[in-house]
Chains A and B, each alone.
Chain A
Amino acid sequence: AQSVTQPDIHITVSEGASLELRCNYSYGATPYLFWYVQSPGQGLQLLLKYFSGDTLVQGIKGFEAEFKRSQSSFNLRKPSVHWSDAAEYFCAVYGGATNKLIFGTGTLLAVQP
């Protein structure tokens, strides 16, 4: 069965600094991979997704993620963080065998002025 691990529960970065959030997945074939963001009191919003093709994926709000099959990773990056990026970020994997989207436990991002 597929699974997702987000090893960092909480990360704090300074505004303007670069950001990388880690995500590792477990799945036998090429998965569909997603990053969602959840602002306080809100539902989740899709940032970006990877299905196939170019392993560097661009998303909304200046985010990108890179699929690395050899490392089973799909890390989220942003070159310069804004205070409005403070939120919780969820990596998710879809596997055809279970026909479900499985979410990681989330990484809570705090942004210092």
Chain B
Amino acid sequence: DARVTQTPRHKVTEMGQEVTMRCQPILGHNTVFWYRQTMMQGLELLAYFRNRAPLDDSGMPKDRFSAEMPDATLATLKIQPSEPRDSAVYFCASGSQGPQNEQYFGPGTRLTVT
């Protein structure tokens, strides 16, 4: 049963610390998405990659967030420095070809910044 995995599932950190979230997409999927979910803003697309290349990161605060795909089996989302307003659930999703096709979501990383 192929699934998207995300680590850690929960992260509590202090303001100013670096946070790294990791995602393993489903093998064979060439598109990876990062979303942020909050009560106030709902689900927001932060960035997405196709064939490991960033195609759109317009939803991501550039000054503190960065997203990379070091290889086809790993996507990372980093926040440095973290702020309390970054507290949210961060989802990774993977799929084939693009956003118009089905996206398979991981279980999310719940981030709390104090």
Q: Interface residues, chain A, CB within 8 Å of chain B?
A: 32, 34, 36, 41-46, 49, 51, 90, 94, 96, 99-101, 103-106
| A43 & B102 in contact (Cβ 8 Å cutoff) | no
8 contacts between A and B (CB under 8 A): A32-B100, A42-B107, A43-B4, A44-B91, A44-B103, A46-B103, A49-B102, A99-B56
| A103 & B100 in contact (Cβ 8 Å cutoff) | no
User: Which one, B91, B99, B106, contacts A100 given CB within 8 A?
Assistant: B99
Q: Smallest CB–CB gap between B51 and chain A, Å?
A: 15
User: Which one, B45, B56, B93, B100, contacts A43 given CB within 8 A?
Assistant: B93
A94–B97 Cα distance when bound, in Å, is 14
Closest to B107 in A: A43
| A41 & B107 in contact (Cβ 8 Å cutoff) | yes
Q: Interface residues, chain B, CB within 8 Å of chain A?
A: 4, 42-43, 45, 55-56, 91, 93, 98-100, 102-108
User: Which one, B42, B55, B56, B104, contacts A103 given CB within 8 A?
Assistant: B42
Q: Smallest CB–CB gap between A90 and chain B, Å?
A: 7
| A101 & B45 in contact (Cβ 8 Å cutoff) | yes
| A106 & B91 in contact (Cβ 8 Å cutoff) | no
Residues in A neighbouring B93, C-beta threshold 8 A: 43-44
Residues in A neighbouring B108, C-beta threshold 8 A: 42-43
A96–B103 Cα distance when bound, in Å, is 16
Residues in B neighbouring A105, C-beta threshold 8 A: 42
User: Which one, A36, A44, A99, A106, contacts B99 given CB within 8 A?
Assistant: A99
